[in-house]
Structure 1
Amino acid sequence: MDELGRPAINPEIRIKEASDLSRLWKATPKAKRGTQEEFGEKWGVGSQSAVGQYLRGDIPLNFKAAMAFATGLGCQISDFSPRLASEIEGLAKHAVEVPTDDEFADVRRLDVKVAAGHGSVPYLEEELGALKFRRNFLRSIGVSEANAVVVTVQGASMEPTIADGAVLLVNRANREPRSNAIYVFHLQGNGLVVKRVVKSGGQWMARSDNDDRDAFPDFAFDEGATLIGRAVWMGAKL
């Protein structure tokens, strides 16, 4: 057992995973992945040192790091860690109960926390299975299955519109600002946030629905924010 009470990973498996991951790293053009420091910051792996330790096998891969590497390198987790791929498949089977009717589409539910506040360091973890949406519903709101993803909101800055703990359906293909629409975007140095988009004085601004402007001030997009998708549906506990 490790310090968190989880089963210890066989050293041979850890080294094999690191070797396969390192091979994929080297095979990916530097122009695409960047340096270890750039990769770690962009995909939430951590510092340059952390990226290097995963690639060398000094520390074992976990769900968060594996998903980040797979996304950043454009590969599957199974390409370098069949162990984690198998565990994720098991989680997906038990995460949600979904119908099998062809009228429904699977939309990936990722454990990517989106802050409705000042932001949080973005990170990627395991895929929590899928939520089912009717295909005609997705079509009606202009979202393709390939560009749809469900994420969870943390924070009170968008209340009462979006409750803390709500899940959002995000259209990653829609990255063009539209006045009064709600978007998820990455704020440089602060992480992933969800805000309403407004235009003020000829400039696009991100605004909280919470009226407490001292706690949740507006900020301009040119302060390092990058839109990653428009929120088109919300689900929350009553």
Structure 2
Amino acid sequence: MKTTEKNLTKKRELSEVEKAECAALNAIYKAKKKELGISQEKIAIEGLKANSQSAASHYLTGRNALNIEAAAVFARYLQVPVSDFSARLAKEIDRLSEDSNSNVGEVRQPKQSFRYPVISWVAAGAWSEAIEPYPAGFSDRYEFSEYDSKGPAFWLEVKGDSMTSQVGTSIAQGSLILVDTEVEAAPGKLVVAKLPDSNEATFKKLVSDGGKLFLKPLNPGYPTEVFDENCRIVGVVVQATQKFHY
């Protein structure tokens, strides 16, 4: 009987640990794929640099054992640490990362990140507790952040130059600001507020002077608004696409 090439290259059976890792990864993928808007094809082609969706499928179904590179790719797309599905590989990645002579920078475990919608200033002005945090169709654009919000949060794209300054904090037009609706709005914080005479939200610094609150632009060329009982704080700005300090 002729020995075929297929017989000579018989695939190694996965160990119980490797099977458990693939099963855990598959469970995470199924739980998060809809929320994150990802697919096996996206992970395979963009992340694993493969030619077809099957490259991701083989890891998820346990046909192929996970390795460090594949684990790091899945962790990045699923926004979880490798340790969530493979303690074995997580330890190996950490060990290699500590070795200054090791070229493994691209496979380090990713920090956890969170997905928030980018909304309009009108939508921000209409924000209320009735919005569950992101109903279907709420936004067609999402951005990620390592910030774990205290409550519903969203991104806004800065319009105009009222928050630019020659000194200190300056937020340029076109920057994205992340707004957390549950952070306490104390004087000195940058806030998004709703003024009674506008259907849009506004971005200002909340300041206190003589026992009264004001909404102050960082650009001195713009007027300061009195914050009275008809104004409403939508949320506090916790991050911007450029670094700043309160």
Q: If the TM-score is normalised by the length of the shorter chain, which range does it land in?
A: 0.3 to 0.5
TM-score (norm 2): 0.45
Kindly indicate whether structure 1 or structure 2 has the higher relative contact order, using CA contacts under 8 Å at least 6 residues apart.
1
Larger radius of gyration: 2
The structure richer in strand per residue is 1
TM-score (norm 1): 0.46
